[in-house]
């Protein structure tokens, strides 16, 4: 692990990687990168590299797990052994099981599961390279992969973290800011601004919390535009990519 820097924000208000406090890292999106999946996405966000694959809706087995009036959303978040400096032990961990659970829940309000009774929609996310913000990166990639699979949704889900370093709120923490910062608050939201995932490490005052939510809301809306642009570039601005309204 790197040493703690003396300062995270310089006299010009810029962070160690040159960003302003309210600036997200550059994001790059490739759609349909896996031919076996029904929908897929490769996403780079700063130094994070993430793959998402969606399978389904397909009949859920065993049948006793089927939901008669809806599809089940299953979500797997996994970090590759080589995704961080120290090797990560393969297989589920407490952290990955927790992230998988809350990420599935982040999609439940938007996916129109009622159209596909007794089925399962499987979302697999693999972190290939990690640099903080991987759960939010995976959600952004999964959202695109769901759209690529043609799964009807009320809209996309966009996610970003906000945190606190040197006593200041900063958007989209990088690894050092996450490691040594005072707070880390990942958030996912719908295009209407409804929060579908919120977690928090560390402490913020009530005022800071309110300001942090506004900051992360702006970040999510910026990401939504990047996601939409990627989809329009791939599929064209027409009905072939259809976000069905309820
Ligand atoms: P997120 O990646 O969603 O921000 P965390 O805050 O738990 O999730 O992790 C922050 C960062 O710490 C990760 O992106 C990764 O770079 C690193 N990290 C997480 N788990 C491990 C681990 N088991 N070993 C080494 N580094 C890890």
Ligand 1 centroid – CA 195 distance (Å): 22
- Asked if the structure places residue 246 within a domain, the reply is no
Ligand 1: distance of its center to the CA of 115 in Å?
Answer: 36
4, part of any domain: no
| Closest-lying ligand 1 atom to the alpha carbon of residue 99 | 3
Residue-number span of the structural domain to which 177 is assigned: 27-235
* Bridge partner residues of 40 (DSSP): 53
Q: How confident is the model at residue 246 (pLDDT cuts 50, 70, 90)?
A: very low
pLDDT tens sequence across 110-138: 999 999 999 999 999 999 999 999 999 99
Ligand 1, atom 6, residue with closest C-alpha: 132
- The percent of residues above 90 in pLDDT, for the chain, comes to 93
Report if residue 113 sits inside a domain: yes
Closest among 228, 59, 41 to 148, alpha carbons compared: 41
In a domain, 45, yes or no: yes
Residue at 194 is within a domain = yes
pLDDT confidence tier of residue 3, bands split at 50, 70 and 90: confident
Q: Which ligand 1 atom minimizes the distance to the CA of 135?
A: 3
CA of 130 relative to ligand 1 center, distance in Å: 7
Write the burial class of residue 239 (CB in 10 Å: 0-12 exposed, 13-18 middle, 19+ buried). Answer: exposed
Maximum CA extent, the chain: 61
184 C-beta closer than 6 A to ligand 1: yes
What pLDDT does residue 100 have?
Answer: 98
pLDDT at 2 over 80: no
- Render the burial of 190-205: b for 16+ CB within 10 Å, e for the rest: bbeeeebbeebeeebe
Rounded CA separation 81/84 (Å): 7
On whether residue 129 sits in a domain, the answer given is yes
Question: Is 50 within the bounds of a domain?
Answer: yes
29 pocket-lining for ligand 1 (C-beta < 6 Å): no
| 49 Cβ below 6 A of ligand 1 | no
Q: Which atom of ligand 1 is nearest to the CA of 131?
A: 16
Q: Is 128 in the pocket of ligand 1 (CB under 6 A)?
A: no
Q: Which protein residue has the closest C-alpha to ligand 1 atom 26?
A: 84
Average pLDDT of the segment spanning 83-95: 96
- For residue range 18-65, what is the model confidence (pLDDT) as tens digits? 999 999 999 999 999 999 999 999 999 999 999 999 999 999 999 999
Q: What is the CATH number of the domain that holds 160?
A: 3.30.230.70
Identify whether 13 is part of a domain: no
Q: How many domains would you assign to the chain?
A: 1
Distance 182 CA to ligand 1 centre (A): 16
Of the candidates 115, 114, 108, 116, the residue with the CA atom closest to the CA atom of residue 143:
108
- 239 CA to centre of ligand 1 in angstroms: 38
């Amino acid at each position: 692990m790197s040493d703690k820097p003396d300062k995270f924000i310089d006299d010009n208000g810029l962070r160690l990687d040159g960003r302003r406090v309210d600036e997200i890292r550059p994001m790059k999106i490739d759609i349909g990168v896996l031919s076996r999946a029904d929908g897929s996405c490769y996403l780079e966000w700063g130094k994070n590299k993430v793959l998402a694959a969606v399978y389904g809706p397909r009949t859920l087995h065993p049948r006793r797990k089927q939901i008669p009036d809806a599809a089940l959303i299953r979500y797997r978040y996994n970090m590759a052994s080589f995704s961080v400096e120290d090797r990560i032990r393969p297989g589920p961990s407490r952290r990955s099981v927790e992230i998988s659970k809350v990420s599935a829940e982040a999609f439940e309000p938007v996916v129109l599961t009622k159209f596909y009774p007794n089925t399962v929609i499987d979302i697999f996310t693999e972190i290939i390279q990690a640099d903080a913000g991987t759960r939010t990166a995976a959600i952004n990639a999964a959202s695109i992969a769901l759209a690529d699979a043609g799964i009807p949704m009320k809209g996309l889900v966009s996610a970003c973290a906000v945190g606190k370093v040197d006593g200041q709120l900063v958007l989209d923490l990088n690894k050092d800011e996450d490691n040594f910062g005072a707070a880390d608050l990942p958030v996912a939201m719908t295009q209407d601004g409804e929060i579908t995932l919120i977690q928090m490490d560390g402490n913020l005052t009530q005022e800071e919390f309110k300001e942090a939510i506004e900051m992360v809301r702006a970040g999510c809306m910026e990401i939504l535009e990047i996601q939409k642009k990627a989809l329009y570039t791939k599929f064209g601005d027409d009905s072939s990519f259809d976000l069905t309204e309820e």
